[in-house]
Amino acid sequence: MTGFMQYSGMRCGCLGCLESKVTGDAGLSRRDFLCSTAATAAALAGASMISAPAAAQTALTPDQALETLMDGNKRYLGGQLKSFNEDLSILKAKTAEKQEPFAAVLSCADSRVPVELVFDQSIGHLFVVRVAGNVATPEITASLEYGIAVLGAKLLLVLGHSNCGAVKATIEGKAVPGQIGALYAPIWPAVNAAGGDLDAAINANARMQATLLSRTSTIISTAAKEGKLKVAAARYDVATGGVSLLPP
Ligand SMILES: [Zn+2]
């Protein structure tokens, strides 16, 4: 079995699964963006013949998308990474024309939070948007909306992490150079709600940004309401590598 076939045997969303997406109940915007030309259709038909359909990404429910991520974190914790064994050259070729990530993740820019690695995912699986403090600013929200409305992500996960410098800086409230202070305002409500406790503020920030996205984006709120998207918040522990889901 090749690396790619091992990959496609997982809940992968490989391009071999695209035919069903294109002909099935895919999002209108996805079809408009990605499947409007005959050349694309021909490429997709060719791709579907190459790899086994296995469990298509399109068959993933939002809950299964979350389960898939958390399973990946278990492999990461146990040192049993599968993504490193995937045939990356084949994956690159398969995803050159389009992407089909099953989850969108908003995480901090912190170098200790390598999102794909943490969830044992490789090319084409995750739509990752990163910004210090994992805050849902307008541009960040727009990016996530693209991942959901156009690319069809089934899960939106806001991932905070222990020892977050952005949250810590907001608690301290010191003067900072340049535009770094712009991060204070979106993080401040969580710091305020947590009474200045760092761990509580980190958790509150992830939950609040998830809530903010759910309530301010009509794309996200509508997809969630229709059962096409799950929105969740989690915390990554930089010491242990574990991801814990946070209660809503
Ligand atoms: Zn951080």
User: What's the pTM?
Assistant: 0.78
What H or E segment, with its residue span, contains residue 191?
A: helix 184-193
Q: Ligand 1 centroid to 95 CA: how many Å? A: 30
* CA 123 – CA 29 distance, rounded (Å): 22
Q: Ligand 1 centroid to 209 CA: how many Å? A: 13
Q: Ligand 1 centroid to 189 CA: how many Å? A: 16
Q: Ligand 1 centroid to 52 CA: how many Å? A: 39
Domain ranges, ordered by start, for the chain: 54-246
List the 126-130 sheet strands across, edge first: 126-130, 103-107, 155-161, 230-236, 243-246
Q: Ligand 1 centroid to 186 CA: how many Å? A: 13
Would you write out the chain's pLDDT as a tens digit for each of its 248 residues? 333 333 333 333 333 333 333 333 333 333 333 333 333 333 333 333 223 333 345 679 999 999 999 999 999 999 999 998 888 888 888 888 889 999 999 999 999 999 999 999 999 999 999 999 999 999 999 999 999 999 999 999 999 999 999 999 999 999 999 999 999 999 999 999 999 899 999 999 999 999 999 999 999 999 999 999 999 999 999 999 999 999 98
Q: Ligand 1 centroid to 22 CA: how many Å? A: 38
Which among 221, 96, 56, 95 is positioned nearest to 149, based on CA atoms? 221
Q: Ligand 1 centroid to 175 CA: how many Å? A: 18
Q: Ligand 1 centroid to 20 CA: how many Å? A: 39
Contact 113, 206 (CB under 8 A): no
Q: Ligand 1 centroid to 164 CA: how many Å? A: 4
Burial 175-204 (b: 16+ CB within 10 A, else e): eeeeeeeebbebbbbbbeebeeebeebbbb
CATH superfamily of 54-246: Carbonic anhydrase (3.40.1050.10)
Q: Ligand 1 centroid to 190 CA: how many Å? A: 14
Residue type for position 57: Q
CA geometry: angle 38, 39, 41, nearest 5 deg: 60
* CA 179 – CA 137 distance, rounded (Å): 14
Which pLDDT belongs to residue 57?
A: 59
Which pLDDT belongs to residue 216?
A: 94
Three-class DSSP labels, 37-94: CHHHHHHHHHHHHHCCCCCCHHHCCHHHHHHHHHHHHHHHHCCCCCHHHCCHHHHHHH
Which pLDDT belongs to residue 58?
A: 60
Cβ contacts of 1 within 8 Å, gap of 6 or more: 9
Q: Ligand 1 centroid to 196 CA: how many Å? A: 16
Q: Ligand 1 centroid to 7 CA: how many Å? A: 31
Place of tokens 């998830």: 210
